Amino acid sequence: MILATCAVALLLAAGPDAPGGVQKVRIRVDTFERKPISRFIYGLNFPESESTWGKGVPRGVSLSRMGGNRVSAYNWETNASNCGNDCDGKFPNDAFLGGGDEPGGAVRKRAGWAFERGAGFLASVPMLGWVSADKDGQVSLATPLAERRATRFLPSRARKGAPFAARPDRSDGAVFQDEFVAWLEGEFRGRRGDPLRPIFYSLDNEPDLWGSTHEEVRGNRQGKDGYVLTGYEELVSRSVEYASAVKDVAPEALVFGPSVSNWNGFANLFHNDKPDPAGRKFFLEYYLEEMRKAGERQGRRLLDVLDVHWYAEIQSTNHQSIANEWAPQDAAMVQARVQAPRSLWDPAFRERSWVDRAVGGPVRLIPRLRELVARHYPGTRIAVTEYYYHRGGDISGAIAQADALGIFGREGVFAATLWPQGSRWAYKGDLDRTYACVFAAFRSYRDYDGKGGAFGEASLQATTSDLERTSVYASTDPEGAGPLVLVIVNRSEQPVDASIELSSAVQYARAEAWRVTGGIGACTGPERTPGEIPVERNALVASLPPLSISTVVVRR
């Protein structure tokens, strides 16, 4: 430890910049304390779909989520669904999800894809109350609500209240979600208890937006500000009912909820200034407390994972949102995007957005959620099942993605699944280019050498002297016996020399590096850098190209 301390002192004495414009940062990795990294943070929504993601889905996807607005009206008996307002306001009942007419066909093919690749599967349980009865196209909002419910939809209920059938009875006038869970558990019997390929259940999708997304069954925008708002009591009541039904069938299954869409959903279900019945304005506090109380009454946990969606609202200094993929991708936009993941954790980072103004300070999303859990429902895990930082075909998108994955692992997030939000037309219609760079970021963690080389399962404490320019994530195996795998991000547009000090009882001897680099519309890598990096007295220097991701593997 004396040697390590002396080495750090020498690094601290070094100047901030090296000759020739190369920047210098100091990184320290402490190997003495290890925290587990959940394997389920490396997830995608609908990863099996080439029409969604192109052909470049990386090896190592660990969780597949079948989510989105379609699942709210998904009829598992026939595979009919309704995309709601997502389809140009036409609200079609259709066969988009595939699966033919076989019960659960759309789910079977997606779960099968995940299990064949050693991944878990997150199924969504509809709670909206109505599912599509046909695949006959547009549902006209000009038709009275009662009539369109009666002719185009079927009641969806949490419990059947009768023995489950080998094949669901399509003449009984309703669709039962506990029977769906029983079907899925039976279809893939043997998955239960498999730590690599579990089945999880999500309580629907973005219920805070039901009023606008699913007018076809919720009514024609007759509520406040043109929305039929989801009520606090309504959502909790439905969540308790459906979570209980899931647990009755699959007691060991983990249940995710409430899958709300953004900060307004977290705060008040888009009720604006309306508090909940207890007088609090923050919805997630109310939700966690009520789910805890319901679980205590039943003598079992009903909510296992607090699930939210997070689409960064950050704007550049030119007042352009990073979600605007058609805006000029100038230096201001690039810096806004690559800094955006800091809002997931950094207590000193102020983002330029309405969320920052609503919070009144740093967002620090994940620590904030952990604090809510600790106060209102201890033991609940955290998931982010939709997120995207845009421009997935640019190096800036890759850097934001690499940062997000590193943060999820270090901050103890249980599950995360990227949502396909990219505009292929920003890349001249080329779907493979649309996500090429974010997939390169995935490979930096899950397949950096093309042979399955992966970030470790245990997180180590790692710090950088310049958080604005760089970030670092460190890992090893759970026993600490294997190599150290570091992912180092250079967010600046200048090259950086990173002086790395390893605080360890083990003497390391050599290191190798793989890099992702690129620009607007293209990325290369991860590519192996020539030769090895010497390690002397547990210190090494890694050269980081401008706007790059480096996976550094340090061996004994």
User: Which residues are catalytically annotated?
Assistant: 206
- The pair of three-digit structure tokens given for residue 460, joined into one six-digit string: 């180590």
CA dist 554 → 430, 477, 487, 511, 513 (Å):
37, 13, 11, 4, 9
The whole-angstrom separation of Cα 386 and Cα 372 is 20
**Gap between the Cα atoms of 381 and 524, Å rounded:** 35
DSSP 88: T
Single-letter residue type at 314: I
CB 261 within 8 A of CB 207: no
Q: How many CA atoms within 13 Å lie on the side-chain side of 320?
A: 17
**DSSP strands (E only) in 317-397:** 381-387
DSSP code string of 194-232: -SSS-EEEEE-S-GGGHHHHTHHHH-SS-SGGG--PPPH
The pair of three-digit structure tokens given for residue 245, joined into one six-digit string: 């039904």
Q: Tell me the CA distances in angstroms from 131 to 176, 181, 329, 516, 531, one per residue in order.
A: 10, 16, 42, 44, 59
Farthest CA pair distance, the chain: 79
Contact 403, 339 (CB under 8 A): no
426 closest CA partner among 469, 393, 380: 393
Distance CA 81, CA 98 (A): 10
Taking each helix axis from N to C terminus, what angle separates 436-446 and 395-410, rounded to the nearest 10 degrees?
Answer: 40
Sign of CA dihedral 340, 344, 346, 350: positive
d(CA 290, CA 238): 12
- Radius of gyration, CA atoms only, the chain: 24
Geometric angle at alpha carbon 527, from 522 and 533, rounded to 5°:
135
Orientation angle between helical segments 232-249 and 177-187, nearest 10 degrees: 40
The residues, ordered by sequence, that sit 6+ positions from 128 with a Cβ below 8 Å of its Cβ are: 72, 73, 156, 204, 207, 210, 214, 217, 218
Burial class (CB in 10 A: 0-12, 13-18, 19+), 190: exposed
Contact (CB, 8 A) for 326 and 404 = no
Please say whether the beta carbons of 343 and 314 come within 8 A: yes
Phi, psi for 541 (deg, rounded to 5): -125, 125
